[in-house]
Amino acid sequence: MIVHFSQIATILLMVAGLYVVIARGNMVKKLIGLSLFQTSVYLLYILPGKVLGGTPPILDPARAVYANPLPHVLILTAIVVGIATLALGLTLVVRIKEAYGTIEEDEILAKEGPKENLKDRVRNRSKSGRGGTAA
């Protein structure tokens, strides 16, 4: 149990983040969950890169054992991607708030989705070729 402490922490974070994305209807909270989910992946990569007794990966004649630098480089890239995604997501939320006046997914769907579908369904059933009334 204790041996795999880091892996357990990683998986807890991963599942918690994914749960928030699925369970919450608030768009900002969803993004927070998404960030948590992505962050857990950083741990997944970084943790195995640690070498016990190793120094930071800087070449030095006095030190022979050092941590694996590759995961850090990879995760630096992943962090950039994460920031870009979060910034873009928040930008979209700001614009959704301006367009709809809410960031609750249910309320937005209530404003758009069912009405649209119902209208379509009615039109399909009546199979009228006449031009639709202005929406």
Partner 1 sequence: MIATHLPVLLILAPLLGAILAALSRNGVAAWLIGLVASALTAAVAFALLWRVQAEGVISYRIGGWAPELGIEYRVDAVNAFIVVLVGIVAVLTMIFARRSVLAEIIPERVASFYTMMLLCIAGLLGIAVTGDAFNAFVFLEISSLSTYTLIALGRDRRALVAAYQYLIVGTIGATFYVIGVGLIYLVTGTLNLGLIVERLASLQSSRGLIVAEAFIVIGIGLKLALFPLHAWLPNAYAYAPSSAAVLLASTATKVAIYLLARFLFTVFGGHIDVGSIAFGSLLIGLSLAAMFLASAAAVVQNDIKRLLAFSSVGQIGYITLGLALANPTGITGGLLHLFNHALMKGAAFMAMGAIVLRTGTAKLDELAGIGRVMPWTAAALTIAGLGLIGVPGTSGFVSKYYLILGALEAGHGWLAILIVASSFIAVLYVGRIVEVVWFREPAAAAREASEAPLEMLLPMWGLAGVTIWFGVHAEWPAGLASAAADTLLRMVP
Partner 2 sequence: MRLDVVLRVATKFMLAPLLLFALYVQFHGDYGPGGGFQAGVIAAAAIILYGLINGLGPVQRIVPVGLLEVLIPGGVLIYVAVGLASMLLGDNFLDYNHLAHDRIHGQEWGVFLVEVGVFLTVFSTMIAIYYAFAGRRRS
Residues 38, 75: contact at Cβ < 8 Å? no
Chosen from partner 2, partner 1, none, partner binding at 48 (C-beta under 5 to 8 Å by type): partner 1
Rounded-to-integer distance, Cα 72 and Cα 114, Å? 47
By CB under 8 A, name the binding residues for partner 2.
56, 58, 76, 80, 87, 90-91, 94, 97-98, 101
> H helices within 24-104, ranges in order?
27-49, 69-100
**Using the rule CB under 8 A, is 84 a contact of partner 1?**
yes
Provide the 8-state DSSP code for 22: H
Query: Least distance (Å) from partner 2 to the CB of residue 93?
Result: 11
Q: Which of residues 25-44 bind partner 1 (CB under 8 A)?
A: 27, 30-31, 34, 37-38, 41, 44
User: Using CA atoms in the order 115, 117, 121, 123, what is the torsion angle rounded to 10 degrees?
Assistant: 70
- Please identify which residue in the block is written with the tokens 């994460």: 82
Rounded-to-integer distance, Cα 35 and Cα 8, Å? 18
Chosen from partner 1, partner 2, none, partner binding at 58 (C-beta under 5 to 8 Å by type): partner 2
Among 4, 9, 48, 60, binds partner 1 (CB under 8 A): 48
Among 3, 58, 61, 130, binds partner 1 (CB under 8 A): 130
4: CB partners within 8 A, 6+ apart? none
Query: Least distance (Å) from partner 2 to the CB of residue 37?
Result: 21
Q: Which is nearer to partner 1, 60 or 107 (CB)?
A: 107
